[in-house]
Structure 1
Amino acid sequence: MDGILPLWKERGMTSHDCVFKVRKILHMKKVGHTGTLDPNVDGVLPICLGSGTKLVELLMDKTKVYTGEITFGFATTTEDLDGEIVTEQTIENAIPDETIQEAMQQLTGHIVQIPPMFSAIKVNGKRLYEYAREGIEVERPEHPVYVDAFEMASASSLIDGRQSFQFKVVCGKGTYVRTLASDLGQALGVPATMTSLTRAASTPFKQEDCLTLDQLREAVENDDFSWLVSIEESLSAYPQWHVPSSETMLHKLIDNGSVLDLSVLPSELQAQLPVTVFLDDKIKALYDLHPSKDGKIKPTKMF
């Protein structure tokens, strides 16, 4: 079985738990996920199956959409509800929503984040959360990310000295959404915590495309595999190059993953790289510009 399972990860499980359960349900070993979701986060988690595991890096690089809640008035060690409260401040007067939205806008585009101590980034060969569990604070490397949008999704409310609101984030790979919440609070002069998070989309998949583990189990028991997204479908956003069957030498070169001259591509595709390459109507490779040889293209993935 080769392709993608658009899984809806429920709260209380790690991404690794999901992979383990999918392996058992489908009775296959070659299974991989496309980006860790914390146990307290639910949402879209594409699972790669068989040859589809070659798409893990490509899917991890795609844009993600998150929704959730931010609360002003306290901060935790983990920047979410998993940690211990380290700072509290009663919000006497609500910060105007317009002011909040303006501060959120300043956290979009190319920005630099300092990863939270409770994160999986390695420093000197050791993950930050391992230092944190030992009570050791270490200097954390700056982490450049791209945030397409960071905006309020509801009016804020002030209850018992804490101000909360719903938010939406559209961002690229590696963005720490809980750090966005923390940095927003710092910009506004109040402690802040991400109090809820859902991954609403992981390009090209949305919630309505997904199955829960229970739904997957039921589908498999009923011999229903209509949920499987083929490799071709997963890469449908890329331009396609169908190599004519008459080009036997070119077929052999592509079949062997050879570096090619850019000029062999149809002229209309030369400015649209990367492209998916089809031999005899079957996807064979994803070709892109060669990183060091001008006028050349090379496969970044072979199928």
Structure 2
Amino acid sequence: MDGILPLWKPKGFTSHDCVMKVRRLYKTKKVGHTGTLDPEVEGVLPICIGQATKIVPFLTDTNKTYIAEATIGFSTETEDSHGSVIDKVALTTPITSSMIESVLKEYQGTITQVPPMYSAVKVNGKKLYEYAREGKEVERPNRKVFIKELELLTTSEPTIHQTQPFTFRVVCSKGTYIRTLCVDIGKALGYPAHMSELERTQTGSFDKSNTVTFGQIEEAVENGKEEELLSPMKKGVDHLDVLHIDDPLLFKVKNGQKLPLPSPLPKTNPFQVQHRNELVAIYQIHPTNEAEIKPLRIFHTSVESR
């Protein structure tokens, strides 16, 4: 059984919890997720099953879309609503939509982030959250991320607690910390801030509208229809261009052979190789011989080579 399960991850589950549950439901060990979501965050989490586990890094590398709520007025040690408050400044006047939108414009494109201390980023072989739990703060490496879209959705008047929430939609590259983005936007507005809510609405071509819940999966398993919930592997790499091959080339591809550089050249590198609209491999331009292409992943296919 090969394919991608477009799971809607519920709150209270780690991404690893989801993998373990899918393994039990689908009765297979070959299961992998495509981008960690914190336990208290819900959203789109494509789960790769069987041969589809070979495309995990390619699907993980796609853009993600989130709906986030930031709250201006206080910051926390975890940069979300679950940590202890470390700074607080009461809002006496509301921050206007135009003020927020002006700051959001500054955070579009390539930006630099410092990962939060409560994160799984490793420094000297140790995860940052392990240092944080020991009460230690270490120097964290900067990382470049790309914010493709950033738009204000709603804002409101300051609450009785003299804080002000606002929601925004962001489309960003992998590795972007939305918690940190909320904190940095707050700083640019002149106040401490934190991320108070987060939902991932899209990963690559998988969006909220075509996801399934664990309840739906369990019902499908009971009726022997769990395979019907899986999307084909090629949907997970549809951000990669496609090289279509004929029957004579299929044998070479299935045996992992290098091929001459095709013309026209695919627009992405790496790229899909399809035979009769079925994904059979992922190739790239050879890194040391630009006259050839070489395989990165080979998939067993339903079509025999001739």
Which whole-Å CA distance do the structure 1 matches of 2:277 and 2:9 have between them?
34
Pick closer, same or farther for the CA change 1:237–1:270 going to 2, 3 Å: closer
Q: Who is 1:291 aligned against? A: 287
Q: Who is 1:90 aligned against? A: 90
Secondary structure, counterpart of 1:300 in structure 2: strand
Tell me the amino acid that sits aligned with residue 79 of structure 2: E
**Which structure 2 residues correspond to residues 23-172 of structure 1 after superposition, within 5 A?**
23-160=23-160, 161-172=162-173
Q: Who is 1:198 aligned against? A: 199
Alpha-carbon distance, 1:222 to partner: 1.3
Which whole-Å CA distance do the structure 2 matches of 1:123 and 1:148 have between them?
28
Tell me the amino acid that sits aligned with residue 190 of structure 1: Y
Which whole-Å CA distance do the structure 2 matches of 1:21 and 1:187 have between them?
42
Tell me the amino acid that sits aligned with residue 206 of structure 2: F
Alpha-carbon distance, 1:236 to partner: 4.0
Secondary structure, counterpart of 1:153 in structure 2: strand
Q: Who is 1:215 aligned against? A: 216
Alpha-carbon distance, 1:226 to partner: 2.0
Pick closer, same or farther for the CA change 1:272–1:39 going to 2, 3 Å: closer
Unaligned runs of 5+ in 2: 300-306
**Which structure 2 residues correspond to residues 177-196 of structure 1 after superposition, within 5 A?**
177-196=178-197
Larger displacement relative to structure 2 (205-214 or 221-230): 221-230
Do the aligned residues in 2 keep the contact of 1:81 with 1:193 (CA within 8 Å)?
yes
Do the aligned residues in 2 keep the contact of 1:239 with 1:269 (CA within 8 Å)?
no
Which whole-Å CA distance do the structure 2 matches of 1:275 and 1:186 have between them?
41
Do the aligned residues in 1 keep the contact of 2:79 with 2:194 (CA within 8 Å)?
yes
Unaligned runs of 5+ in 1: none
Tell me the amino acid that sits aligned with residue 234 of structure 2: E
Which whole-Å CA distance do the structure 2 matches of 1:231 and 1:271 have between them?
20
Which whole-Å CA distance do the structure 1 matches of 2:207 and 2:219 have between them?
21
Alpha-carbon distance, 1:99 to partner: 1.2
Which whole-Å CA distance do the structure 2 matches of 1:237 and 1:177 have between them?
23
CA deviations 1:80-112 (Å, max 9, x no partner) are 012111111110011221111111111111111
Structure 1 residue 231 and structure 2 residue 233: aligned?
Answer: yes
Which whole-Å CA distance do the structure 1 matches of 2:90 and 2:251 have between them?
69
Pick closer, same or farther for the CA change 1:72–1:236 going to 2, 3 Å: closer
Identity of aligned residues (%): 45
Do the aligned residues in 2 keep the contact of 1:108 with 1:149 (CA within 8 Å)?
yes
Which whole-Å CA distance do the structure 2 matches of 1:112 and 1:238 have between them?
26
Alpha-carbon distance, 1:254 to partner: 1.8
Structure 1 residue 259 and structure 2 residue 261: aligned?
Answer: no
Do the aligned residues in 2 keep the contact of 1:157 with 1:165 (CA within 8 Å)?
no
Which whole-Å CA distance do the structure 2 matches of 1:90 and 1:102 have between them?
22
RMSD: 1.6
Which whole-Å CA distance do the structure 1 matches of 2:94 and 2:138 have between them?
35
Tell me the amino acid that sits aligned with residue 294 of structure 1: E
Alpha-carbon distance, 1:290 to partner: 2.0
Do the aligned residues in 2 keep the contact of 1:284 with 1:302 (CA within 8 Å)?
yes
CA deviations 1:23-57 (Å, max 9, x no partner) are 11111111110011001100000000000001110
Alpha-carbon distance, 1:241 to partner: 3.1
Which whole-Å CA distance do the structure 1 matches of 2:72 and 2:110 have between them?
25
TM-score normalized by structure 2? 0.92
Tell me the amino acid that sits aligned with residue 16 of structure 1: H
Secondary structure, counterpart of 2:71 in structure 1: strand
